[in-house]
Chains A and B, each alone.
Chain A
Amino acid sequence: MKITLVKKILADGSPCKKCGDVLEKLESSGQIAQIDTILTADERDPESDGMVLAKKLDVDRAPFFVVEKDGAAPLVYTVYMKFVKEVLNQKTEEKDELKEIMENNDDLDFL
């Protein structure tokens, strides 16, 4: 299994805060060791590795994780809690999962 994390640099050159939060969580929990590659999606550069991968996999937000297993199509995770629960088998609280989904999916404001 190969896990790639794509983090973002905003159009004004500043790092994405949410990506920073996710990286910090991965580091403090030691889960960073399970991430094989970290790519950067630089909004100023459509050719940056992360932007190319996002386009290829039709992902419209960051950070995101790509999980590749032999012989299977890559799986994309845009919700950190979903990723740690389903891929890293970490126990999560329903409350935290829902909060993350709500906070990071602005388009849910139609509900």
Chain B
Amino acid sequence: MNDTINLVDLDSNLQAASPQEILAHALAEHDNIAISFSGAEDVVLVDMASRIKPGVQVFCLDTGRLHAATYEFIDKVRQHYEVDLQILFPDATAVQQLVNEKGLFSFYQDTHKECCAIRKVGPLRKKLLTLDAWITGQRKDQSPGTRANIPVVQHDRAFSRPEEVLVKYNPLVNWTSAQVWDYIRSNNVPYNKLHDQGFISIGCEPCTRPTGPGQHEREGRWWWEEETKKECGLHR
């Protein structure tokens, strides 16, 4: 209970803090912490964190379906920054079973959830079970439907070890896409070259496409599916 109250208080204290301040707090508070880096513009977190704590753990989920440009970019980040960048892979048996049963593009019929569960959530959970805290690049402006209420810091109840607390930090939550790109440009941060080709949100190759003028960035991901419905959230 105390942990919950502390995190709620901490969240309200950190709401007005800069991403660097939030990161500094997170990195000072937890030794066993890692940044989740997706190969898109959340590289700003890696840039900021490597200045605060060189050698910080960073992990990346390799679904086996990323764009070639994303692989090149991940490797560039590995060389550019003084971080401990780990690439995580899905369970080979689970992928094999999915592909044997349903082929390589089952997500176009069955929605992306099953494939993402195997290729992303499985390796993510395996990693998170070893950590006390993690850091994501989530922002409210990325998906008004599902992220409007994301806090700066929260309990991650989906991935915690039994009877333990896993803390999740979202330092960029109150930043806009424009602020992220200002930071990238002013600090010469390397970025995925797909961004220059009209991609805003970058995920797996078969599930990501460039967006046109006036389209929201989420329209570039899983475009064949209906807008995600937020049935499980408690709207307070």
Which residues of chain B are within 8 angstroms of A17 by Cβ–Cβ distance?
Answer: 231
Please give the distance in Å from A61's CB to the nearest CB on chain B: 5
List the count of A-B residue pairs having beta carbons below 8 Å apart.
115
Tell me whether A77 and B157 are in contact (CB under 8 A): yes
Whole-angstrom CA separation of A98 from B150 in the bound complex: 22
CB-nearest residue of chain A to B122: A98
Which residues of chain A are within 8 angstroms of B143 by Cβ–Cβ distance?
Answer: 109-110
Which residues of chain B are within 8 angstroms of A43 by Cβ–Cβ distance?
Answer: 234-236
CB-nearest residue of chain B to A50: B234
Contact of B231 among A18, A58, A59 (CB under 8 A): A18
Please give the distance in Å from A55's CB to the nearest CB on chain B: 7
Tell me whether B117 and A102 are in contact (CB under 8 A): yes
**Cβ-based interface call for A86 (8 A):** yes
List the 6 shortest-distance A-B pairs measured between CB atoms, nearest first.
A98-B117, A106-B146, A102-B117, A73-B1, A61-B232, A86-B162
Binding site for A on B (CB under 8 A): 1-4, 7-8, 36, 38, 61, 91, 94, 113-114, 116-118, 120-122, 124-125, 136-138, 142-143, 145-147, 149-150, 154-155, 157-159, 162-163, 203, 218, 221-222, 228, 230-236
Binding site for B on A (CB under 8 A): 8, 10-11, 16-18, 41, 43, 46, 51, 54-55, 57-62, 73-79, 82, 86, 94-95, 98-99, 101-111
